[in-house]
Amino acid sequence: MPYGFTPEHLALAEKVRTFADTVVRPAAYEYDTRRELPQAIIAEMGAMGLFGLALPPEYGGSGPDYTAFCLAVEQIARVDQSLAVTLEAGIGLGAVPVLRFGTEEQKRTWLPSLARGEALAAFGLTEADAGSDASGTRTTADLIDGHWVINGTKQFITNSGTAITTLITVTAVTGERTREDGTRAPELSAFLVPVPTPGLEVGPAYDKVGWHTSDTHPLTFTDVLIPEANLLGERGRGYANAVTCLDEGRIAFAALCTGAAQGCLEEALRHSQEREVFGRTLGSNQHVAFMVARMQARVHTARLAWVEAARLMEVGERFKMAASLAKLVGAESAVANAHDASQIFGGYGFLNENLVARHYRDAKVLEVGEGTTEVQLGVIARELGLTETGMRRT
């Protein structure tokens, strides 16, 4: 089987591909223009079981099968990155933290509705001064009379303001700890904050360059009161656990990047075969043919990278560097393919109604989301033993 996929994987990929081409793609431009998350399509994805692919059956899922999850994300991303990241973040950053670190009660409370796609969860890590460097976190959580009181702000939080958002995992400072080198650092812990909760304000959606359909908001926490039992995982392990989820999430994000690169390739190939210039097809020009061939090489390399990272993760081997490599290669492939496809389309590639144009706008954030290119390079360098990268472990 190609890339080591099983027959079940290929059948799922074909099923999701058909859904993407017949349901998602025809509606994508309309929702992109309206900057609105298509709730009806999300419901269809839930009914298909896509939000439960990485979750065990005892919590309402059909997995855990991370490769299947990545394949679904890739197929959706071919035609709509916004909807693909809604799925990717809904599982990878929404459900997976609860699955990995939640108590049994927390899992049974939150995961079934997430697995059915009836609810979405968000992950509140990033702040104005704490993106790549989590030590800059300013949001605090104080334990008072059996309740955690949370104050602070978060930004760029995906899936945080939808009509079906029910949960936000929030990282906050709960004290201080001593690093191995003797310096002091914030003690970060993670908390489950139900939506709605008094004191939690979801700000207006961002006016983004791309990913118009993806739901993204700033959040403000003003004396938000949650039970002591809403601590997720051990106190002081919030950042470490977040990194674990991000490592896993980067694999699915790399699959999203691969899907975007694949979508650009398919559009460029079709246009090159159909468009006639100076009495012959555009693709008969060697320069264009070579551009398309290079696009295929990028897609192939990106897919190999995420499949290898997923395989390592699923068999319990160390996968941190593989995940960062996959995310790095995938993002760069998507950006390059979007550029080349737009060039092949010429003026048509500059029209928002054209899928290639939307990929061109959307692709840039792939070099930023779930760890910038520079963060991935830093992770890879450290994994190679080059520790002096200017990036301190928090």
CATH at 368 = 1.20.140.10
In-domain check, residue 102: yes
392, pLDDT greater than 60? no
In-domain check, residue 389: no
In the chain, what are the helix, strand and coil shares in percent, each to the nearest 5?
A: 55, 20, 25
What pLDDT, on a 0 to 100 scale, did the predictor assign at position 178?
Answer: 80
394, pLDDT greater than 70? no
Cβ atoms within 10 Å of 382's Cβ, excluding its own: 17
- DSSP 8-state secondary structure symbol assigned to residue 391: -
Does residue 208 sit in the same domain as residue 248?
no
The number of C-alpha atoms within 13 Å of 229 and in the hemisphere containing its C-beta is 6
Q: Is 44 a catalytic residue?
A: no
| pLDDT tens-digit map of 301-322 | 999 999 999 999 999 999 999 9
What pLDDT, on a 0 to 100 scale, did the predictor assign at position 333?
Answer: 98
Catalytic option among 30, 180, 370, 383: 370
393, pLDDT greater than 70? no
Does residue 110 sit in the same domain as residue 138?
no
Among residues 298, 289, 297, 271, the alpha carbon closest in space to that of 357 is found at 271
Among residues 139, 162, 155, the alpha carbon closest in space to that of 223 is found at 139
What pLDDT, on a 0 to 100 scale, did the predictor assign at position 390?
Answer: 55
For 30, the domain range is 2-119
Cβ atoms within 10 Å of 156's Cβ, excluding its own: 20
Does residue 244 sit in the same domain as residue 227?
no
d(CA 175, CA 62): 39
Residues contacting 126, CB < 8 A, separation 6+: 154, 155, 156, 157
Does residue 230 sit in the same domain as residue 274?
no
Peptide bond into 64 cis (omega under 30): yes
Whole-number average pLDDT of the chain: 95
d(CA 183, CA 333): 40
Does residue 132 sit in the same domain as residue 211?
yes
In-domain check, residue 314: yes
Q: How many domains does the chain have?
A: 3
| pLDDT tens-digit map of 129-164 | 887 777 789 999 999 999 999 999 999 999 999 999
In-domain check, residue 390: no
Q: Give the pLDDT mean for 185-208.
A: 96
In-domain check, residue 392: no
Does residue 190 sit in the same domain as residue 274?
no
**Amino acid at position 368, single letter:** V
389, pLDDT greater than 60? no
CATH code: domain of residue 150 = 2.40.110.10
179, pLDDT greater than 80? no
| pLDDT tens-digit map of 15-60 | 999 999 999 999 999 999 999 999 999 999 999 999 999 999 999 9
Lowest model confidence (mean pLDDT) among 152-166, 280-294, 378-392 = 378-392
Element (H, E) at 255: helix 238-274
Q: Give the pLDDT mean for 280-300.
A: 97
Widest distance between CA atoms in the chain: 79
pTM for the predicted model, two decimal places: 0.95
In-domain check, residue 166: yes
**Where is the domain boundary, 235, 270, 297?**
235
What pLDDT, on a 0 to 100 scale, did the predictor assign at position 388?
Answer: 61
Q: Are 258 and 306 in contact (CB under 8 A)?
A: yes
The secondary structure of 46-81 as a DSSP string is HHTTGGGTTS-GGGT-S---HHHHHHHHHHHHTT-H
d(CA 359, CA 82): 10
| pLDDT tens-digit map of 217-245 | 999 999 999 999 999 999 999 999 999 99
Does residue 39 sit in the same domain as residue 94?
yes
What pLDDT, on a 0 to 100 scale, did the predictor assign at position 182?
Answer: 79
Tokens of 114: 């997430």
